[in-house]
Structure 1
Amino acid sequence: MTMRWTRFKYHINATLLLLPLYFLATTLAMGPDGATGATVLAPKSVGPWQVEPRAAGHWPPRPGQELDMTVRFDAGPAAEIRTAVLTIGDRAPAVEDLLSPAAGLLHGGEVLREAHVPAPADISADAALWLTVERWDGSLHHVSWPLASS
């Protein structure tokens, strides 16, 4: 038993020393927001903010599945954002639909926020990804990216 342990303890030590190098390499290979292989959509402005969404999963979204998105808010006053949601549909959501289960609520820091957007079971040909930002004064700002042209 001692002969076996003496032989393998060096292998275990080498593995423990090399394992952090693996995690360092994978961390350095990631993008600035932690996403590898993300689909970057065209930057647009919504109200005073310049936004750039990224889809971490399959793009365009598959019907009935959840889409993981990150949105970078590059310019504009982040403290004025009350609610920001991502939805998939034919039109922008109304005020009463902002906190519905069909909307992906953006959460995170001031610059980079993420959402888990549920895709409807039937996605029409003219559907779009809608970003809706509500300010503290109650005003809504909408912007969309068409799914078909992506």
Structure 2
Amino acid sequence: MAVRKNTILNRHKFKISGLTLLFPVYFFYQQLQIPVSQDPWVAKQVGEFNLTIQPVNKEAPYAHDADWFKDFTVFINKGSITQIRQAYANIGTVPVTIEELQLNDIGLLHGSNLLQHVHAISPVHISSNDKVWITIQTWDGTIFTQSWQFNNLL
């Protein structure tokens, strides 16, 4: 039989391996927690659709692949999602044109029939002059645009 040295590591290896089994439990619990979000903003008419938007969290925009984004949930109160060909969201003083938006897949609304999620294209710092713009194109080519003013709503 081999002789083991009586070191601190050898005395506590079993306990350390037990602690490593607790890490997945902690991170699983953390993933189940619902993020703190804000109240939904006022519902507005965007063409034939009635939409309500809600920021997912109270945090500032985040960087991803050299672009800046802020996440929103979009509730479709009235209108059929099947009538929408494409829909985008951006934050700024003016809306980004549909031609420029469709060059990439950023800012694209995605989700289910009643609830959509969007990673809205955002500037690094949101000012009080900035608005959240939703641009919707229907299958017949009609484009609708609507905005929500920030006004310290974040």
Instruction: Tell me, in whole angstroms, the C-alpha distance in 1 between the residues paired with 2:16 and 2:53.
Output: 46
> 2:136 is matched with which residue?
133
TM-score under structure 2 length normalisation: 0.65
> 2:89 is matched with which residue?
86
For residue 70 of structure 1, report the CA deviation from its aligned partner: 2.6
Aligned to 1:105, the other structure's residue is in SS state coil
For residue 115 of structure 1, report the CA deviation from its aligned partner: 1.6
User: Pairwise mapping of residues 1-150 of structure 1 onto structure 2 (< 5 A)?
Assistant: 1=4, 4-5=9-10, 7-16=12-21, 18-30=22-34, 36-45=35-44, 46=46, 47-56=48-57, 57-58=59-60, 66-75=68-77, 76-99=79-102, 104-110=106-112, 111-119=115-123, 126-150=129-153
Q: Which amino acid aligns with 1:58?
A: A
> 1:33 is matched with which residue?
none
Instruction: Tell me, in whole angstroms, the C-alpha distance in 2 between the residues paired with 1:120 and 1:27.
Output: 27
For this pair of structures, how many residues does the alignment match?
A: 138
- C-alpha contact (below 8 Å) 2:133/2:145 kept by paired residues: yes
Q: Percentage identity across aligned positions?
A: 20
Deviations 1:64-85 (CA, angstroms, capped at 9, x unpaired):
x713213233433222222111
- C-alpha contact (below 8 Å) 1:44/1:52 kept by paired residues: yes
Query: CA RMSD of the aligned region, Å?
Result: 3.4
Structure 2 stretches lacking a partner, 5+ long:
62-66
Higher CA-based Rg: 2
- C-alpha contact (below 8 Å) 1:129/1:147 kept by paired residues: yes
Q: Which amino acid aligns with 2:17?
A: I
For residue 55 of structure 1, report the CA deviation from its aligned partner: 4.8
Structure 1 stretches lacking a partner, 5+ long:
31-35, 60-64
